[in-house]
Amino acid sequence: MDYENNSWIWDGVYYYPHLFGGIMVTAALLGLSTSYFGGIGSFHKRKSGEKKRIRVYMDGCFDLVHYGHANALRQAKALGDELVVGVVNDEVIAEHKGPPVFNVEERLTLVNGLKWVDEVIPDAPYAISEEFMKRLFNEYKIDYIIHGDDPCLLPDGSDVYAAAKKAGRYKQIKRTEGVSSTDIVGRILASSRCRENGKDHIVNGEQHQEESQSEDSHISQFLPTSRRISQFSNGKEPGANARIIYIDGAFDLFHAGHVEILKRARELGDFLLVGIYSDETVREHRGSHYPIMRLHERSLSVLSCRYANEVIIGAPWKVTKDMITTFNISQVVHGTVAENSLKSESDPYEVPKNMGIFRLLESPKDTTTTSVAQRIIANHEAYKKRNAKKAQNEKRYYEEEKKYVSGE
């Protein structure tokens, strides 16, 4: 503002202070009311014209659910606002890939238990046809269909997601390296062979050594990073007066029984803290061929569960008074179904029992890591064929891709 050109204003303020004071106050109020009510108007405008929520769809067998599945769903959810997951039924899996390890009820429990999942469609088709795609768009209001950058092929070698790609409604995420259901089956079968050959170790040490070397390809390739752990973490701390529940275990080969017991434990309080035994602790109490999944792999599986709020990575076998005090634990719980320890020693829950804060929870399912492994071992020939078939299809896919890129 130019002072000289607007001297009348200052003269008015000097000679008629009450009049100009009233004018200034009125102007201020009008300005405030305009901005205030205008703000409300614009708020209502934003509300009525609110951006459409993006719904994305991802499907799969979700057999032997691991942190790779969880990371895929996490990435898919990041591409939209609501994640709908299709789960293929047992008969279709058997037709295309061989017998599933977990039945459809167990797989639905696992998928529903993942924190990024908003809705589940059971009996989803293995291949997305034009008809099912229209159903996704019209009935389920799906905007995009998501899949990883690894090949998903039909027996004839064609792309399962060809229709979605053609419709321009397909988005791709990065596959999580270092783990797959095929890899886990391989680890379990390798562990079984090692146990069988272990009896001959003293008599024929060279044979056992060769067997061990042949299993190197089934050793976990997972490289944990703080970034990956933070991506899976809730990042929330318990409130000042929160009732904190503690449950511990190996949580190896994460299964529906784990999800159900975590759900039951979470219902007892406001915050569920899960202790996950170290690999050394699991080997000491369960045998040298366990765990199948390494500590950080198991930690990510638990963190991906919607019922777990926080984990202790490498929790001790015994619950101590110091632990209870440090983490402000209100109650310690344990399921009725668990693997037996090879060591006969003092009760790991002696301290919380003496404090009157221990509770034994009835396990909703009788599934254990050993029983899951036994399912695979019992059908090992079928799973070997399944793994070989998948490897053959992938090899064919990449050969075709190479030809396409090179223009052959």
Residue with tokens 């046809």: 129
Which helix (H) or strand (E) element contains residue 329?
A: strand 329-335
Identity of the residue numbered 19: L
Length of the chain: 408
Nearest to 108 by CA among 124, 122, 93, 127: 122
Query: Region 190-208: what's the mean pLDDT?
Result: 53
The distance from CA 347 to its chain's CA centroid, rounded to whole angstroms, is: 32
230 against 9, higher pLDDT: 230
The distance from CA 52 to its chain's CA centroid, rounded to whole angstroms, is: 26
370, pLDDT greater than 80: yes
Query: Region 21-25: what's the mean pLDDT?
Result: 41
Q: Looking at residue 5, what is its pLDDT? A: 42
Tell me the pLDDT tens digit for each residue of 346-360: 899 999 999 999 999
Contact partners, residue 11, CB within 8 Å, separation at least 6? none
Q: Looking at residue 151, what is its pLDDT? A: 75
Contact partners, residue 79, CB within 8 Å, separation at least 6? 54, 56, 144, 146, 171, 173
Say if CB 76 and CB 146 are below 8 A apart: yes
Phi, psi of 3 (to 5 degrees): -60, -45
Say if CB 307 and CB 116 are below 8 A apart: no
pTM of the model as a whole: 0.78
Say if CB 253 and CB 293 are below 8 A apart: yes
Query: Would you kindly state where each structural domain of the chain is located, as residue ranges?
Result: 55-173, 233-368
Assigned CATH class of 233-368: alpha beta
Q: How far apart are CA 352 and CA 177, in angstroms?
A: 40
Assigned CATH class of 55-173: alpha beta
The token pair that represents 229 in the structure block: 């752990």
Share of the chain above pLDDT 70, in %: 75
Under the banding of pLDDT at 50, 70 and 90, the label for residue 262 is: very high
Q: Looking at residue 392, what is its pLDDT? A: 64
Phi, psi of 239 (to 5 degrees): -65, 170
> Strand pairing of 358-361 and 329-335?
parallel
Distances (CA, A) of 314 to 57, 104, 299, 320: 35, 32, 9, 14
The token pair that represents 165 in the structure block: 């790609």
Q: How far apart are CA 251 and CA 274, in angstroms?
A: 10
Q: Looking at residue 33, what is its pLDDT? A: 37
Do 55-173 and 233-368 have matching folds? yes
152, pLDDT greater than 70: yes
Say if CB 186 and CB 383 are below 8 A apart: no
Q: Looking at residue 24, what is its pLDDT? A: 38
Please provide the average confidence, as pLDDT, over all residues in the chain.
Answer: 81
Query: Region 381-407: what's the mean pLDDT?
Result: 60
Dihedral sign of CA atoms 114, 115, 116, 118 in order: positive
Q: Looking at residue 11, what is its pLDDT? A: 42
64, pLDDT greater than 60: yes
Under the banding of pLDDT at 50, 70 and 90, the label for residue 408 is: low
The token pair that represents 263 in the structure block: 């759900």
Q: Looking at residue 35, what is its pLDDT? A: 37
